[in-house]
Structure 1
Amino acid sequence: MGRRGVSAGELELYETAYLCGGAERVALVVLVALRQDGRIGIAPARRRVTVVRPESRHPVEAAALEVIPPAGLPLWRALTRIAAHPAVALVAASLRDRGLRPSRRPRRRPALDPGEGLRRAAVLGAPGIEDARLRRIFETPDPQLAEWARPKIVLRSTTANPAPDGRRMKRAAKQLERHLTRQTEASGHDHGADHGADHGGGCGGDSGGDPGGGSA
């Protein structure tokens, strides 16, 4: 059965984002939405996301706020966790139930008018973010992840059947998350020991934030 036509009016914001860019686009759009009205902060230099007001108006917003701990998260890790959240999977399921699904082939993507505001980011990805400073945060490559993703660290084989770039970056992101988690746990353990001794822890556009973008 062929894909039926879709009109903008029958899609809500996060459905539009998923249809145009998959789970990663949903993650980008919800962070932009939360940042625009001051419910989260994103430090431009450190690219770290922190919750300011834990108020949600949509299950995807609740999911985004849920995955960000009080100490905050690197932007790339926040994007990765939101994209993998069950609330985003429910958005995909809703589209499938209506015979809609995202396509990786630009020619088969629905032709949607980008419009303005958050919808523009949903359709175009990071290039559609209207706030120039916020757009630069999502578009600027993260040096920490770029260094981690170098072949000398990530690839097991660089000759036979190399993984596509997207898979390689996702693998790098997972490895970096495990590495940073171990560092955090070790740091917390050392701090606890010291403390005890002293006193007796398409649509068009790519998905905006690379699942591998952000810094600790």
Structure 2
Amino acid sequence: MSDTYFTKLNRQHGSQQQTRLPSVLAEEYLQIDDRSLADLIRALASYASEIRFFNLKNEPEGTWQSLFSESEVMVIADAAEIDIRTLKQEFDTKLKQSLTDGLNYGLQAIAAVGRWLGASERFAYMESRQAALAVREYSQEMLGDIGGAYLKVAVSEKFENAQELKGALRNILSTDKLKIQYRTQSYRDKEDILRNCFDKVLRVREYTAEHCAKLLPSLSLRAITIPALAYC
């Protein structure tokens, strides 16, 4: 048999020991610290609340938490990660229990988007403002049609937090004039609207996370390091 056969065989993936390395033995499989940058920033903010701040008279005056609370980098870090699967499962569980439970859970998700957009209006860095504008436009595109139908279901079910829902949608859509282009007659219609709306909210959250994750590394260097040095 010629050497050519073995030469070709040896070039095939998996024919050599080094190409059959189990994934659990790879260098990157087990990390010393598997926390993400967003995790580290949140941990730093939590730790800062335990460190006392001393004024010019060397007297304790609060903590270093004010350096992080409501700061631009914290708003970005909080939105940089999202567990879509868990949120979807929790919503499905709530909706199976009742329309009211589904409405409540959906309200929390919609309100979270509205609060993030509200906080983003105080962003100082150009890249952050551009990201926030993109998120707002995408939010309005996703929820512009379904939001009115969601509110109609809430009203028809005599949902006690309907006004809060209306306010949350107003924060996102910047209007009280909501479109209603979906049937809301049967129980199944209402379930479909709630699922459709929640799916679109998750798409907004995912879109936001993508933008924030890209922005966070460069922003964290400027928004944390520079202010911290100003206190020294």
**Could you say which TM-score interval applies, normalised by the shorter chain?**
under 0.3
**Greater relative contact order: 1 or 2 (C-alpha under 8 angstroms, separation 6 or more)?**
1
TM-score w.r.t. length of structure 1: 0.25
TM-score w.r.t. length of structure 2: 0.23
More helix by percentage: 2
